[in-house]
Amino acid sequence: MTTLDVSAVRTRFTGQVVAPGDDGYDGARAIFYGGLDPKPAVVIHPSDPAEVAGVIALARETGLELSVRCGGHSVAGHSVVDGGIVLDLRHLRAIAIDVEERTVWAQAGLTAGDVTKAVAEHGLAIGFGDTGTVGIGGITTGGGVGYLSRKHGLTIDNVLAAEVVTADGQILEVDADHHPDLFWAIRGGGGNFGVVTRFKYRLHELPGVVGGMILLPATPEVVHGFLQEAAAGPEELSVIVNVMPAPPMPFIPADVQGSLVVLGLVCYAGPADEGEKALAPIRALAEPLADFVRPIAYPEMFMEAEGDEEYHPTATARTLFADELDLARVTEVIERLRTAPAPMRVTQFRPLGGAISRVPADATAYAHRGRAFMVNVASFLDGPDTRPEREQWVRDTAAVVANGGPGAYVNFVADASAEWAREAYPGATWERLVQVKRQYDPDNLFRHNVNIPPEG
């Protein structure tokens, strides 16, 4: 380890360099989730891929730990490293849309909302997740489960090529014919293999969607019915079913606030009349407490997620997959939610299938193609002393839901333990990723992530 000479660093880069004591340092090191207070030695915003390679070289020279930041939404806090070097891509924001070819090259400093809005001006779309402020780099390399997944696949299923800066400073353009193993690995393997500075995505025609939020009472029959109707519905329909206390929002009656509700986010990627038919069985489950589902432009799906910059939630969470969610399991989860120790807690269900499941399991590094549901259990903290209690509640609730074998979605993994890495990348996927890691990052320079060590 060496002491970093920040003055010398500033002379090496034309991009912005932010260090302790500089105006903007606290903003540069802030991340979305609370409970973490990393203080990096320096935050560098490279101006081009060559400067990305320069930051990587600096990390190798100094021995300081390196983290790569796009949107700062890493649940485990991987976006910023304490005492190390943050390679912040947020100034790489070029975008080039080919309307005729239906493709877009987008640099990794852009957010999901940025790209979604830009391509929507041409009646086109690429599915990312469900939050507009996430960086496209993180969500893409981790997989990309979102509002268009059942219709058009994961984000990685629509990546045609990428520009990657490797640990030895090479700037590579990768696709199915050029560095195919690296191209395979960055589609689901996270940031283990290099810094992706831009992606080429396939776009889909999407003039509009039927989407928005619907609020229903959280009875076991309603929750189970919502999941079954959504899973059996047309592939154009993707939903996120959150079972949680009703938040204190103006449109929610005062006597409902704080009681358990189903906060459903729905998106039908097709004609409005067909969307209304697909949603009718869900609306028939119970009288909605609120219903904002309507024909909208696709970027509006992200508007609710464009949150307050001062909002930094602190929670403990677990991500898993389930192959069956029967009424008994749903009933037990709801009872656990009713009696949970935390004022704010949530169990989130995402029906999968459709286009996700039609991609062969070994086609990308996302290895969970056959799973029926993704589930996330979270409990918010009131302070550090509440963590052990809340973590136990999360573990016990997740155990109620889990069935069909282990598994984890890397973008929702909340800590960096080896156990989680193996659940995210099981079996043959892990072995192949280790081989690619040995080739492109044998010294494990890119380790501030859900790590795949080169020694396996």
> What mean pLDDT is reported for the chain?
95
Mean pLDDT across 405-433: 93
The 10s digit of each residue's pLDDT in 102-126 is: 999 999 999 999 999 999 999 999 9
Q: For residue 31, what pLDDT is reported?
A: 87
Q: In this structure, which topology does domain 209-412 adopt according to CATH?
A: Vanillyl-alcohol Oxidase; Chain A, domain 3 (3.40.462)
Answer whether 316's CB lies under 8 Å from 387's CB.
Answer: yes
Tokens linked to 348: 């989130």
Query: How buried is residue 440: exposed, middle or buried, by Cβ count under 10 Å (0-12/13-18/19+)?
Result: buried
- pLDDT of 310 higher than 70: no
pTM above 0.75, yes or no: yes
**CATH code matching the domain that covers 95-205, chosen among 2.60.40.420, 3.90.480.20, 3.40.50.2300, 3.30.465.10:** 3.30.465.10
What are the residue ranges of CATH 3.30.43.10 in the chain? 6-88
Answer whether 325's CB lies under 8 Å from 243's CB.
Answer: no
Q: For residue 251, what pLDDT is reported?
A: 86
Q: Which pLDDT band holds residue 33 (cuts at 50, 70, 90)?
A: confident
- pLDDT of 2 higher than 70: no
Q: For residue 415, what pLDDT is reported?
A: 81
Q: For residue 304, what pLDDT is reported?
A: 47
Higher-confidence residue of 74 and 371: namely: 371
**114: which residues sit within 8 A by CB, 6+ positions away?**
93, 95, 136
- Among the listed ranges 107-116, 140-149, 305-314, which one has the minimum average pLDDT value? 305-314
Mean pLDDT across 312-336: 94
Mean pLDDT across 279-308: 87
| DSSP tag of 384 | G
Beta strands in 58-157 (DSSP E): 66-69, 85-88, 95-98, 103-107, 124-125
The 10s digit of each residue's pLDDT in 191-230 is: 999 999 999 999 999 999 999 999 999 999 999 999 999 9
**134: which residues sit within 8 A by CB, 6+ positions away?**
70, 71, 73, 111, 112, 128
- Domain 6-88: give its CATH code: 3.30.43.10
Mean pLDDT across 84-113: 98
Beta strands in 219-371 (DSSP E): 237-245, 260-268, 290-291, 294-296, 315-322, 345-351
Could you tell me where the DSSP H helices lie in 18-163? 25-29, 49-62, 112-120, 136-142, 149-152
Answer whether 31's CB lies under 8 Å from 74's CB.
Answer: yes
The 10s digit of each residue's pLDDT in 349-384 is: 999 999 999 999 999 999 999 999 999 999 999 888
**89: which residues sit within 8 A by CB, 6+ positions away?**
45, 46, 52, 68, 69, 70, 107, 108, 109, 135, 137, 195, 197
Residue type, 310: E
Q: For residue 76, what pLDDT is reported?
A: 79
Higher-confidence residue of 305 and 99: namely: 99
- pLDDT of 35 higher than 80: no
Candidates 137, 189, 149; CA nearest to 425 is 189
Give the 3-state secondary structure of residue 239.
strand
